[in-house]
Structure 1
Amino acid sequence: MSGLKLPQEGGCRCGRVRFKITAEPLLTMACHCTGCQRMTASAYSLSAAVPSAGFAVIEGEPVIGGLHGEPRHYFCPHCMSWLFTRLEGFDWFVNVRATMLDDPSGFTPYVETWTSEKLPWATTPAVHSFEALPPLEQYEDLTRQYAQWSKAR
């Protein structure tokens, strides 16, 4: 992927929680749901689905925040920066907030979700758009397409 150098570190605003990614993302996304809008105080959240084996918290102890249910959103306990999300039953990846990386410039969203809730002026360069989440059976094809797309950039 153009501009993506691994390993790469990231962390919260205050620096008390740091993490590292050592694996290429499976998929990059922009989520337009109202929950992400409220948690980011922005039009959408940006994330990169990173294989769990390629993700590690290297400093500090993140806490669960957001709605405290599923999915599990992890935050810095001090500055409350939203760092990553884990989904129960999908332990093979971590959804890292791409903008929390020290250099998020290589994480262009490939997919945008929840466009049914997006603000009318919000746009992304995403290749695929979905009114909600993509159907589960499409993820394998989307990750394959993303791998080809990211290598061609």
Structure 2
Amino acid sequence: MPDLALPAEGGCRCGRVRLRILAKPLLTMACHCTGCQSMSSSAYSLSAAIPSQGFEITKGEPVIGGLHGASRHYFCGHCMTWMFTRPEGLDWFVNLRPTMLDEHAWFTPFIETWTAEKLPWATTGAVHSYTALPSFEEYEPLVAEYAGAQA
């Protein structure tokens, strides 16, 4: 499996919105919640938590779509590709859909969340599984463990 080469570029399906990441993920995830199942039209959504200072839009202007609540989900306004999420109050990272990157074969989910809602046949190979979300206190050790596994 290839490593993530930085900087990494990507974009939506139609190419009207392009982005670049300049920092490695803090953590990679798969979410099995029914909301992510609906928004991704799949069994789960994939995310790579990218430090905000290492994430930039290089072309176009994404729009807020999906749910218009505490977590802001950004889409291409033309092809409606779900590109990334910015959780309210957690401005230090962006949850990028890793398949938006031109090269995404490096991606493997390290944790999976909301397994209480997962489809019975869906498997991810994640190292850690949670029936809902990890507690806030668990994230720092998870980020450290993920960084160590990537070194």
Taking structure 2 as the reference length, what is the TM-score of the superposition? Answer: 0.98
- SS of the equivalent of 2:68 reads coil
Matches within 5 A, 1:54-93: 54-93=54-93
Task: Calculate percent identity across the aligned residue pairs.
Answer: 69
5+ residue gaps, structure 2, are none
2:47 corresponds to 1:47: yes
Partner Cα separation in structure 1 for residue 64 and residue 115 of structure 2: 26
Partner Cα separation in structure 2 for residue 37 and residue 103 of structure 1: 23
Number of residues paired by the alignment? 151
Matches within 5 A, 1:70-149: 70-149=70-149
1:37 corresponding residue in structure 2: 37
State the 1:34 CA deviation.
Answer: 0.6
Runs (4+) off by over 3 Å: none
CA contact 2:2–2:105 (8 Å) conserved in 1: no
CA contact 2:29–2:113 (8 Å) conserved in 1: yes
Partner Cα separation in structure 1 for residue 150 and residue 46 of structure 2: 16
Partner Cα separation in structure 1 for residue 125 and residue 101 of structure 2: 20
Taking structure 1 as the reference length, what is the TM-score of the superposition? Answer: 0.96
5+ residue gaps, structure 1, are none
